[in-house]
Amino acid sequence: MDLNLRGRRALITGSSKGIGLAIARSLAAEGCDVQLVARTQSELDKATAAIRADYGVAAVGHAADLSDSAGVKAVAAAAGEVDILVNSAGAIPRGTLLDIDEARWRKAWDLKLFGAINLTREIYGPMCQRGKGVIVNIAGMAGERPDAYYIAGSVANAALIMFSRSLGGDSIRFGVRVLAVNPGPVETEKHINDTRRLAKEKFGDENRWRDVMSGLPMKRAATTDEVSGMVAFLCSDYSSYISGASILIDGGLLTDSAVGVRRG
């Protein structure tokens, strides 16, 4: 399906690897000119060069720390006019309330939560003035499924979901759509490395990392393409009646009736 996105300008954070990079590539495949944001310029250079070669669109990278307000403002100024903003930066460590001290908690939230809110503030105003635009915040399934062992992530994702719903319910009056996308487990490089460690602990063999996923309803994690394809669709005019919504991509995990049985 041609999503009619050709020529639109997209800004994607956390996009030198993982879900963010997959989203940048999906939007580029639809003809969007893309601007990628991450901390490391060398990784951005590699990603943007590949996108230009593969899709023939404009692709540039902005190296910035979005946990710092000065970095946010610099990216917004460099990006110029943006039709699509995807906030995908930030990974929050697992741990209980007693595991995650204040400094570590604040550092994680400054990027994942406040980085998204602050960059949205910078991009949202000009979008409203032009009367068009789409903002997609990549939160996570933990925002809908409380997890005491991922408490900082659960609470941040819940806040980002509610931020998207709250803003998206009003933004549509100005022609701007705001949404949240909540992936469950996704087969990124980080996910594979984490799962290898679990496989080593559980089976004594890190190469059995896929077996760790056998308890999921679909017995696997999502691919990055399954997430990025949904984001591209939501950014298109085919989704023009959707704003303030939260889209779950979890392979049925949140509503898996067997989870309650396994937990007793």
Handedness of CA 13, 139, 259, 101 (dihedral sign): positive
| Residue 137 region by backbone torsions, left for phi larger than 0, else alpha for psi between -120 and 50, else beta | beta
Handedness of CA 138, 139, 144, 150 (dihedral sign): positive
The answer to whether the beta carbons of residues 105 and 93 sit under 8 Å apart is: no
Give every CB contact of residue 139 below 8 A, 6+ residues apart in sequence.
157, 158, 160, 161, 164, 180, 181, 182, 246
Concerning whether 149 is annotated as a catalytic residue, the answer is: no
Give every CB contact of residue 210 below 8 A, 6+ residues apart in sequence.
195, 220
Return d(Cα 174, Cα 167) in angstroms, integer: 11
The active-site residue, picked from 149, 150, 238, 241, is 150
Give me the active site residues, please.
150
